[in-house]
Structures are given as C-alpha cells and as structure tokens.
C-alpha cells in the first residue's frame, strides 16, 4: 500500500523568522504521527533554518529546485551537494512556474531528475496542462510528453525514488480547483503512462500527488481518491492550522 505524502511548497514566501515559526508549528502539531509522510520545501535561503527545526522529527526537508551538478561555476544556482549538506531528502523538479515563467524544458528537467535520483534524493516531478491544452483535449498528450521527457533514461529501480505531482496549471493561484473527477482522471492517466514506460509494478507503487489548489475544505475528498496519494500544497501550506488540517485529512 502506498503511504500518503503531503508536501508544503512555500514558494517565494516567508522570512527567516516566519519560516522558523511555521516549521516549528507544523512539527509541534504533527507530533509523532507516522501514518503520513510530511515534507516542507522552504525558499532556498531558509533551507538551513527550517532544516534545524525539523532535524530529528518526522518532518522531512525538501528543496523547491536544484541545478543538475554537484558544484561548479553556476552563479545563483543551488547544487545537489548543497541540498544534501543541508539535510534535504526531497526536491521538486519541473514545477509549472519554472516551466512557464523561467523557460525550463523537458531535457533540462530530465537532467535534474537523473542527477537528483543518482545523488539519493526523492524527486517530486511536476506535470500538468494549461487551460488552453485542457480546452483542446490535449491533457493526456501533455502528460505523456512531460512524463516521458522527465523520466527518460531512468531504470525501474530509480523510478521507485520518483513522486509525480499532477499540477493543472489552470488551477494554480486562480481559486479554481480541479474537481475530484478531474484529479482522479489525470492520476489514472499518469499511472497508465508510467506503466507503459516502466511496467506494472513501478506504476502501481508510484506516489501521485494532487497539486491543484488543495486546501482544508477539499482535502478530505481529494486525499481518498483511488489514485491520489497526497498533495503538493502551495498557499495553504503557509498557514500551519490549514496545513495540519490537510495532514489530518490524509491520515
């Protein structure tokens, strides 16, 4: 049985003080709960701050991005070795904001995935269609292109270290959430596509997260869909009470 995973993506929010306080509130509220995996992904400048708070607890540290080299002359980037040094267990790759705002393409995302998996990180690969693609009935084609592009060259064993987050781009920050039916349909297609690429067992064990504006009001329904195994939580993860409510729904 796949264990549920709830990941808080704080994006470009918080200060050192609020990041520390938010992480501490989550750790305190979660206690010794182990039925659901939990990770927090603060902005890169606060990875160390949050890492100190979650160290030795059931909450894992994750990064929002990584450059696909351990170190080097890459001004402004964060290397894989740096994330490991700070205690990161997870890294988010291919988020729609990096695809559409910063121009990251599938080959570059694939480089990140390969490098992060090889280094021992659990990689959360984001995929999802725009409103135009959904209206054009191109959702499955979009998911297939992004998944095959991100995962090409991986082995079945390496896929065990992959988590896929379904991100309907049209639902991010708009106040519109994917319906449970839409989320389940996309998750089913993702599992089918991974099975075509890697076989039945890797597809069956693959954790799939909902990244389409999960909040305290809809979490209970979304978290118990057959092919949804948790959530990549954006805005709602910035409020400890709401994030903890989502965690309770997952349990």
Residue pair 215/242 in contact (Cβ under 8 Å)? The answer is: yes
Adjacent-strand bridge partners of 202: none
* Residue count of the chain: 251
41 closest CA partner among 66, 8, 87: 8
Name the H helices within 152-218.
Answer: 156-159, 180-198, 200-205
**By CB neighbour count within 10 A (0-12 exposed, 13-18 middle, 19+ buried), where does 68 fall?**
buried
Catalytic residue among 77, 95, 189, 192: 95
In angstroms, the CA 116 to CA 110 distance is 10
95 among known catalytic residues: yes
CA–CA distance, 80 with 82 (Å, rounded to integer): 5
CA distance 9 to 137: 29
**Catalytic-role residue among 122, 129, 144, 167:** 167
- Is 100 tagged catalytic? no
Q: Which residues are catalytic?
A: 95, 167
């Amino acid at each position: 049985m796949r264990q549920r995973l709830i990941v808080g993506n704080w994006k470009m929010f918080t200060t050192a003080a609020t990041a520390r306080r938010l992480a501490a509130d989550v750790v305190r509220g979660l206690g010794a709960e182990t039925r659901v995996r939990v990770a927090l992904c603060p902005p890169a400048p606060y990875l160390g701050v949050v890492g100190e708070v979650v160290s030795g607890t059931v909450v894992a540290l994750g990064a929002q991005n990584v450059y696909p080299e351990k170190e080097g002359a890459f001004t402004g980037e964060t290397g894989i070795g740096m994330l490991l040094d700070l205690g990161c267990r997870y890294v988010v790759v291919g988020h729609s904001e990096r695809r559409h705002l910063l121009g990251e393409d599938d080959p570059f995302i694939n480089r990140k995935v390969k490098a992060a998996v090889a280094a021992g990180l659990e990689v959360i690969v984001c995929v999802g269609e725009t409103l135009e693609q959904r209206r054009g009935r191109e959702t499955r084609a979009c998911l297939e292109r992004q998944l095959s592009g991100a995962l090409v060259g991986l082995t079945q064993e390496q896929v065990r270290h992959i988590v896929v987050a379904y991100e309907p781009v049209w639902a991010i920050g708009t106040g519109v959430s994917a319906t449970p039916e839409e989320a389940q349909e996309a998750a089913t297609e993702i599992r089918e596509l991974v099975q075509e690429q890697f076989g039945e067992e890797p597809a069956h064990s693959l954790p799939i997260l909902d990244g389409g504006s999960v909040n305290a009001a809809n979490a209970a329904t979304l978290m118990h869909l057959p092919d949804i195994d948790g959530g990549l939580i954006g805005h709602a993860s910035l409020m400890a009470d709401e994030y903890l409510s989502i965690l309770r729904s997952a349990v």
